[in-house]
Chain A
Amino acid sequence: MSSPRTPVGRMVARLRRNRLAVVALSVMVLIHLAVALAPWLAPSDPETVSLADRLQAPGARRWLGTDEYGRDVLTRLLYGGRVSLAVGLTSMIASMVLGVVVGAIAGYAGGVTDGLLMRLTDGMLSVPLFFIALMALALLGATMLNLVLVIALSSWMTVARVVRAEVLRTRELEYVQAARAIGASGARILARHVVPQSIPSITVAATLGVAYAVLLETSLSFLGLGVQPPAPSWGNMLSGARGYLRTVPGLAVFPGIMIFITVLCYNWFGDGLRDAIDPTLAER
């Protein structure tokens, strides 16, 4: 195999040698595809109640059985995954945008602005955000939008720090000074010349960010402050299953396994991506 010349090509080659990361990515693609195709794959409707069929054991017709309202568990897993992953991905994107903006401004502006923004970042990291999130969702209502906002607002700090560090590193480089010399505006320099430099680190943070967001969404939904029934989410399916731990423990197994596998794959892939982007880090 001839070795690729571009940095991205070398990165992909390193990533492909990491078997764990490749497996994780394949499983991730599979889960996302299955969930996206839920309306076509699912054997029945996720919200139709049929009390005659309640709490059936897994079998030939109902592969994973039915829940306490007679709804097909496999169907709800597929649709629940849609909700959980949609919330996870949307809040990750929102938190990336917020983090990049805060980090870029702090790093580029320096001085008092930097000081204030970084104190804000440190402060956010040293506050029990889970309790504040709980409070915000209870008081403002547990809507999907609020859920995304709460997750995004509680997870942008790592990206902000990473981006700030990258901006501090690049802003004095010659090509950035050249751009400044020909009169490019601060916003343009940031968007065109500085922030693109940190895209690799942002990608790693984004991958790990989805894992965090899915865990947070499912936790909040489990507590009843996230996705509201009857709409399925992996988290609220588990909270429904809680009442049947003694009689039908299987009901609690499947949603948990889906969350676990999804989060695990995102973490594994994110870790592989970090090693591939910066091979010196793999030595840690």
Chain B
Amino acid sequence: MLRYLSRRLIQTAALLLVVSVVVFALVLQAPGGPSILLDRNMGSEEIVRMRSILGLDQPLHVQYLRWLGQVLRGNLGTSYQAGFPVLEIIGQMLPNTIILSAVALLLSLSVAIPAGVISAARPYTALDHIVTFLSFFGISIPVFWYGLMLIVLFSIVLGWLPPGGMYTIGGPRTLLDLGHHLLLPAVVLGTANMALFARYTRSSIMAVMRQDYVRTARSKGLAEGVVLYKHALRNALITIVTVVALQIPRLVGGAAITETVFAWPGMGSLAVRAAFERDYPMIMGITLVISAFVAASNLLVDVLYVYLDPRIRYE
């Protein structure tokens, strides 16, 4: 277990290193480079001096290593637009993205697992077809449009829920108020995964139900519900956890769109704004931090496997 984990840690570090090279290369490739050099009032000598102050006259690998050294020490630079350290801004936004993504994930699992189990218990019935049919809708609906339509229906026409934001402006920051604002974005972000997880739950339970130990459990005279939820689901969960892990990168991508639609103050809306403002340090910082966050969640899933499946012994 320890050996396996240390190998995964090294792999994760290597992956993040590659991401950092890509991020660095993209910024180098950007037309004009750092915008400070675009000042028309600077003569060519001044530009040369400025380049040497900024270290831009150094070989690329030296520039990269210097930048990486700063990043590893937690210095992601200062946002061009806000004027605050990038890390400080991210520190305020990342928890909001985690809240939104986690609630959306829990919501999709709590609907998808029962739906998948019901489908698998009665395959090819009307109920199963309805679940399959709906799950295609969930996979195909564009997140941003879905969000806009829910805003039109629930905020504008019915007036039940706020159209965006995280707390009522000027109001007390209560949990109830947060839940009120969280409901629509969480449903929007959760829907696609709900559909996907339901399909995987159904297929993996159907595969498990054909196994010998399930037949044994049934022949002992156990109730079908006990067989389904205690024996079959426990094994099917391993597949579901794998799928959840694979979806984490897409979940944060979806969160970016959802946050923009609902003006949710998180990493996604921050990234979109930084992209428009060409706020290089901000974009670089967000991409690195979100990659590290996704990598850490994947590591967590690996540990979770061991608890779910005692047969797994990482060697």
Contact = CB atoms under 8 A, between A and B. Distances in A.
A265 to B, nearest CB: 8
A112 interface: no
A248 to B, nearest CB: 11
Q: Determine which residue in A130, A131, A267, A283 has the highest number of CB atoms from chain B within 10 A of its CB, and name it.
A: A131
B226 to A, nearest CB: 24
Contacts of A215: 140, 142
Given A222-B144, A256-B149, A267-B140, A131 B26 contact: no
A13 interface: no
B275 A126 contact: no
Q: What's the dominant secondary structure at chain A's contact region?
A: helix
A211 B140 contact: yes
A245 B249 CA distance: 30
B294 A126 contact: yes
A168 interface: no
Interface string A242-284: 1001100100110110011001100110010000000000011
Interface stretch (A32-40, A67-75, A132-140, A197-205): A132-140
Nearest to B145: A256
B280 to A, nearest CB: 8
Interface in A217-234: 218-219, 222-225
B118 interface: no
Contacts of A259: 142, 145
B29 A125 contact: no
A223 B23 contact: no
Contacts of B206: 283-284
Interface residues of B, number: 54
A238 interface: yes
B295 interface: yes
A256 B142 contact: yes
Interface string B168-211: 00000000000000000000000000000000000100110000
A1 interface: no
Given A131-B253, A245-B151, A246-B156, A264 B272 contact: no
Contacts of B295: 126
B304 interface: no
A256 B143 CA distance: 10
What interface size band does chain A fall in? 35 or more
A213 to B, nearest CB: 13
Contacts of A249: 152, 156
Q: What's the dominant secondary structure at chain B's contact region?
A: helix
A132 B143 CA distance: 19
B137 A264 contact: yes
Interface string A178-202: 0000000000000000000000000
Q: Determine which residue in A138, A255, A260, A283 has the highest number of CB atoms from chain B within 10 A of its CB, and name it.
A: A138
Contacts of B237: none
Given A126-B298, A131-B253, A260 B291 contact: no
A218 to B, nearest CB: 6
Interface in B7-48: 11, 15, 18-19, 22-23, 26-27, 29-31
A134 B30 contact: no
Interface in B59-97: none
B246 interface: yes
Interface in A140-189: 140-141
Nearest to A261: B140
A263 B140 contact: yes
B249 A127 contact: yes
B148 A242 contact: yes
A135 B26 contact: yes
B142 A141 contact: no
Contact of B145 (A223, A260, A271): A260
A30 B15 CA distance: 44
B290 interface: yes
Nearest to A225: B275
A241 to B, nearest CB: 8
Contacts of A130: 249-250, 252-254, 256-257
Contacts of B275: 134-135, 137-138, 225
A73 B281 CA distance: 40
Contacts of A129: 249, 253
12 contacts: A126-B295, A127-B19, A127-B294, A134-B272, A135-B26, A136-B26, A215-B140, A218-B144, A242-B148, A256-B142, A259-B145, A264-B136
Given A138-B274, A138-B278, 20 more contacts: A127-B291, A128-B249, A130-B252, A132-B287, A135-B26, A139-B27, A139-B278, A139-B280, A211-B140, A215-B140, A215-B142, A222-B257, A223-B144, A238-B144, A238-B145, A252-B152, A259-B142, A263-B140, A284-B203, A284-B206
